[in-house]
Every structure is written in C-alpha cells, then in structure tokens.
Amino acid sequence: MTMSSSERDQPSSLQPHASDVAFERLEDQLDWYDHKSLLAQKAYKRAKTLELVVAATVPVLAALDAPGPLTAALAAAVVIIEGVLQLNQWQTNWVLYRGTAEALKHEKYLYLSEAGPYGGPERDRVLAERVEGLVSQEHAKWTEARSRRETEKDEHNA
C-alpha cells in the first residue's frame, strides 16, 4: 500500500495501525447491521400486527352486517399492507442483517480472544479479510433477494 505524502509526513503515532482500522471497521459494521436489523424487525412486526388486526376485523364486520363500503375498505387495507410488506422486505432484511450481525459478533469474540484464525501474527489482516467477506456475502444475498423479488413481480404481471 502506498502512502500519500501527507500520511508520510505524519509521525507514526498519528497513523492508524492496521489493527485499529480493521477493528474499527468491524465495530462500525456490527453496529450498522445490529441497528438495521432492529429497525427492520420493528417495522415488520408493526405492519404484520396491523395487517392481522385489520384482517380479523373484516369477517366480524361482515357478520355484524356493517356497511359494505367499510368492510371493503378494510379488506383493501389488508391488501395494501401486504403490498407494503412485500415491497420493503422487512422480514428478509431483518433475518439477513441479524445473521450478518451475529457472524460479525462471532468474529469479534474470536479476534479479542486471539482464537481460531486470529491466533497468529497475521490476525489483523485476517480480521479485515473476514469482515469484508461477511459484508460482501450479505450484500450479495440482499442483491439476490431483490432480483428474485423483481423477477417474481415481472412474472406475476405478465
């Protein structure tokens, strides 16, 4: 890796060490995936709960001979909520992000314990490679899930 002139001019104590950079990246990605997983989980559970409540209300209103337009509007709301769930893929993102966060957490504990692949002198390089590998895998899964959903939507509309 080539340093810029400004990096060469800094005392070595001011330049980040490989271990700092790799571990900061791990912490940053772990925080991001943990946070996004929680947001996706909350959004999914709220929308799904609303959908279930509204869907359960439709047959009750029909049995009570409620006005047809009200019953139809609530039934349409169920369809809209389900469409929003499919569009945003909160459940899929929740599961993918949680899986990546847990894998990153696993790497963090191995690294801090100097165990497994982190027992040797190249532990910082190994950490950087493994963190980037996990992030790349998750991104590939996310892209695949989005593509599959678009394909299914296109086939449904054809």
**What's the pLDDT tens digit per position in 86-116?**
999 999 999 999 999 999 999 999 999 999 9
* Amino acid 9: pLDDT: 52
Q: How far apart are CA 74 and CA 84, in angstroms?
A: 15
* Amino acid 88: pLDDT: 96
* Amino acid 19: pLDDT: 67
* Amino acid 10: pLDDT: 47
Measured between its terminal Cα atoms, the distance across the chain in Å is 51
C-beta contacts of 59-62 below 8 A and 24+ residues apart: none
Q: How far apart are CA 156 and CA 158, in angstroms?
A: 6
Whole-structure pTM value? 0.78
* Amino acid 145: pLDDT: 77
pLDDT, tens digit, 9 for 90 and up, residues 23-43: 999 999 999 999 999 999 999
Residue 119 has pLDDT above 60, yes or no: yes
Q: How far apart are CA 25 and CA 132, in angstroms?
A: 9
| Mean pLDDT of the chain, nearest integer | 88
Q: Hey, how many other C-beta atoms are within 10 angstroms of the C-beta on 117?
A: 14
